[in-house]
């Protein structure tokens, strides 16, 4: 495994095990991240879906907020899914919750409805191809600016965005599908 890039998956709350399994299916090396010391050992980071307020509080409690911001400033790619999208955003509509503020997007939380209104849809992701999107209390992006560019929409709502070659966010959960297209794409950013 020498020379193989290692992906960190923030493992404080949420769907981190599913991301690990998806990266394993892609042949990648992954590692659960709970401390700044562990974060220093990886080449990229995934912030998974879950409860964004809880993940944000735990990130701050463990000093991971500043560590993640510092590693990003040094060039580490980050991908946020669902709650991870919210935590990457510079702005969260109607909320002053903690966020890393790295991505030039404004996100609306729980924008597709409650958990009972969860759904699946086929999505065309620019530069990646067709993938299945699983939306669970999902956000969407209300606005992009700066270098943020839209990769996918669903019913005219922005559900995937990339900023430069270091930030990726999806409103849906690719880790809950078998495809692996977006996981492989993130690995290419490393």
- Whether 26 is catalytic is no
Extract the tokens encoding 109: 């939380």
- Whether 82 is catalytic is yes
Cα angle: 2, vertex 165, 68; to 5 degrees: 70
Cα gap 165→57, rounded to integer Å: 27
Strands 129-135, 44-47: parallel, antiparallel or unpaired by DSSP? Answer: unpaired
Of 18, 19, 20, 173, the catalytic one is: 173
- Who's near 129: CB < 8 A, 6+ residues apart? 181
Of 32, 82, 117, 147, the catalytic one is: 82
Give first-to-last CA distance, the chain, whole Å. Answer: 16
Extract the tokens encoding 6: 């290692």
Of 175, 178, 181, 183, the catalytic one is: 175
- Whether 91 is catalytic is no
Q: Which residues are catalytic?
A: 82, 173, 175
């Amino acid at each position: 495994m020498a020379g193989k890039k290692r992906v960190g998956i923030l493992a404080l709350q949420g769907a981190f095990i599913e991301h690990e399994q998806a990266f394993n299916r892609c042949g990648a090396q992954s590692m659960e991240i709970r401390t700044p010391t562990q974060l220093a050992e990886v080449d990229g980071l995934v912030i998974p879906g879950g409860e964004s307020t809880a993940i944000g509080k735990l990130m701050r409690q463990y000093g991971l907020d500043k560590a993640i911001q510092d590693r990003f400033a040094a060039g580490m790619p980050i991908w946020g899914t669902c709650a991870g999208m919210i935590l990457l955003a510079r702005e969260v509509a109607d909320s002053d919750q903690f966020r890393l503020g790295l991505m030039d997007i404004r996100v609306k939380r729980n924008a597709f409805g409650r958990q009972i209104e969860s759904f699946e849809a086929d999505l065309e992701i620019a530069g990646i191809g067709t993938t299945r999107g699983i939306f669970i209390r999902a956000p969407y992006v209300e606005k992009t600016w700066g270098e943020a560019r839209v990769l996918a929409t669903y019913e005219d709502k922005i559900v995937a965005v990339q900023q430069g070659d270091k930030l990726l966010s999806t409103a849906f959960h690719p880790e809950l599908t078998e495809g692996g297209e977006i996981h492989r794409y993130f690995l290419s950013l490393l």
